Amino acid sequence: MKHVARKRFGQNFLTDKLVLDNIIDAIGPEKGQALVEIGPGLAAMTALLLKHLDHMHVVELDRDLVARLENNFPREKLTIHSGDALKFDYGQIPVPEGQKLRVVGNLPYNISSPLLFHLADFAHLIEDQHFMLQKEVVERMVAAPGSKTYGRLSVMLQWRYDMSLMFIVPPTAFDPPPQVESAIVRMVPVPAQRKLACDGPTLEAVVMKAFSQRRKVIRNCMAGMCTEAQLVEAGIDPSMRPETVGLAQYVALSNLLKQPA
């Protein structure tokens, strides 16, 4: 029986074989690796991944699709976690000693940002992530300071990951086709020795405050949270706009504000 895509789950199923092959090549799965796919859908990518893996995990919310997966794949090849990817504990997936978890998925556009932030909590357990996302979202993720697309998502994810836009995927590659272009993004957690030391919640609060009024200069955006002198001490010109302030400067300001009075 044909599965009808459900709008409430943001379902757009990838069907283009060339695009699927390109994604598999970008991921480079190998036997013995621990890999989880978020939202396998009709399992087009799942089936291709399993050609290279001994076993993998999937997280799927749609119970009809869970039943389909159970019927189509043996348990010794596929472990199915029926539930919400936004609430799933990725730390529970067993990983061979000395390895980390690999995460892949064609992510629903309507939950992409909160899911990326949820996964960031598990970054220390993850080797890499390869996701299909709305192209606009990927452009925001990888944007550099000074870009119109640089913002809260850019800063918070770049603090945790090295990221690159791999390639663009047209709407025609999906059924039903979305109204926007998609893109594949690779996300590799920044190694501990290179990650800028910072309190995550403080950085989040600073960045949220800074970009709440991005058309204003940062002196005005940060009023009530820090002084102009503190901006200068963090290496930030108070007349700069939030989208021109780099990650290292936001981290410096966060560390300054986190210090005890």
Widest CA span of the chain, in angstroms?
A: 66
Residue 203 labeled ligand binder? no
Q: DSSP string spanning 146-206?
A: TSTT-SHHHHHHHHHEEEEEEEEE-GGGEESPPSS-EEEEEEEEPPTTTSPP--HHHHHHH
Q: DSSP string spanning 103-144?
A: EEEE--GGGHHHHHHHHHTTGGGEEEEEEEEEHHHHHHHHPP
Residue 60 labeled ligand binder? yes
Phi then psi for residue 36, to 5 deg, are -125, 135
Contact status, residue 235 vs residue 227, Cβ threshold 8 Å: no
Residue 28 labeled ligand binder? no
How many angstroms separate the CA atoms of 226 and 238, rounded?
Answer: 11
Contacts of 60 (CB under 8 A, 6+ apart): 39, 40, 41, 66, 69, 80, 81, 82
How many angstroms separate the CA atoms of 128 and 122, rounded?
Answer: 11
Contact status, residue 180 vs residue 191, Cβ threshold 8 Å: no
Q: What is the dihedral of CA 170, 173, 178, 181, to 10 degrees?
A: -20
Residue 106 labeled ligand binder? yes
Q: Which residues are annotated as a binding site for S-adenosyl-L-methionine?
A: 12, 14, 39, 60, 84, 106
